[in-house]
Amino acid sequence: MLSSSSFLATKRKALLFFLLPAVIVLILITLFPFIYAIVISFTGMEIARPQKGVHFVGFKNYITIFTSVRFWNSMKVTFILVFTAAIVELILGFWLAYLLRNAFRGRKIVVSLFITPMVIPPIVAGLTWRFMYDDAIGLINYLVSSIGFSRQPWLGSPVLALPAIIITDIWQWTPFLMLIVLAGFHALPEEPFEAARVDGASNWQILRFITIPMLKNVILVGFLIRIIELFRTFDTIFVMTEGGPGTATETMSIRSYLLGFRFFATSRASAFSLIMLFIVVFICSRFIKAIQREET
Among 9, 99, 195, 290, binds other proteins (CB under 8 A): 99
Q: Is 269 in the site for other proteins (CB under 8 A)?
A: yes
Q: Is 113 in the site for other proteins (CB under 8 A)?
A: yes
Among 9, 25, 159, 195, binds other proteins (CB under 8 A): 25
- Choice between 75 and 221, CB closer to other proteins: 221
Closest to 190 in 3D by CA, of 101, 104, 294, 93: 101
**Residue 266 CB, nearest distance to other proteins (Å)?**
6
CA distance linking residue 161 with residue 245, whole number of Å: 8
- Among residue numbers 217 through 256, which ones bind other proteins (CB under 8 A)? 218, 221-222, 225, 228, 231-232, 234-235, 238-239, 252-253, 256
Q: Is 80 in the site for other proteins (CB under 8 A)?
A: no
Q: What angle do CA 41, 45, 46 make, to 5 degrees?
A: 125
- Among residue numbers 169 through 208, which ones bind other proteins (CB under 8 A)? 171, 174-176, 179-180, 183-184, 197
Provide the strand spans (E) within 83-156: none
Q: Is 111 in the site for other proteins (CB under 8 A)?
A: yes
Q: Is 21 in the site for other proteins (CB under 8 A)?
A: yes
CA distance linking residue 159 with residue 46, whole number of Å: 34
- Choice between 248 and 271, CB closer to other proteins: 271
**Residue 87 CB, nearest distance to other proteins (Å)?**
18
Q: Output b/e per residue, 57-75; b: 16+ Cβ within 10 A.
A: beebbbebbeeeeebebbb
242: left (phi over 0), alpha (psi -120 to 50) or beta: left
